[in-house]
Amino acid sequence: MSKVILVLTSFIQAATMIAGQMFLKYGMQKVTDFTWSWHCIWNDIILNWGIFIGILLIIVTNLLWLYMLKVYDFSIIYPLTSIGFVLGMLCGMWFFGEQVVWTQWIGVLLIMGGCWFIVR
């Protein structure tokens, strides 16, 4: 398979994973007081649409991962999951208003450089 398809598949898998995690985060922000009680788990978590969508996206993520395990070498695809770290940082900044410092940007550049060397 071509390297472009490999990188595109890795990006889609990482983006789906991050989207799922973002929906889980959004859903958990709606939980006012987390307790290990049936009422909290049922009303605040199971019936929470953000958590429901997040779980569905995590399932899609895992199906994509199974496809990647079947088609590509593990030693190549596993390090490419680090694309998720980059997307996660950007989404935290854009959607949740989190502050990103210059050392995090250096980390992103190092991660992307590592992905480039792996695919090369």
State the SS3 of 27-60.
HHHCCCCCCCCHHHHHHHHHCCHHHHHHHHHHHH
pLDDT in tens, 43-98: 667 777 888 999 999 999 999 999 999 999 998 888 888 888 888 889 889 988 88
Statement: residue 4 has pLDDT above 60:
yes
Arithmetic mean of pLDDT, 25-31: 83
Quick one: average pLDDT of 91-111? 90
- At 106 the pLDDT is 93
Q: Tell me, what's the pLDDT at 57?
A: 96
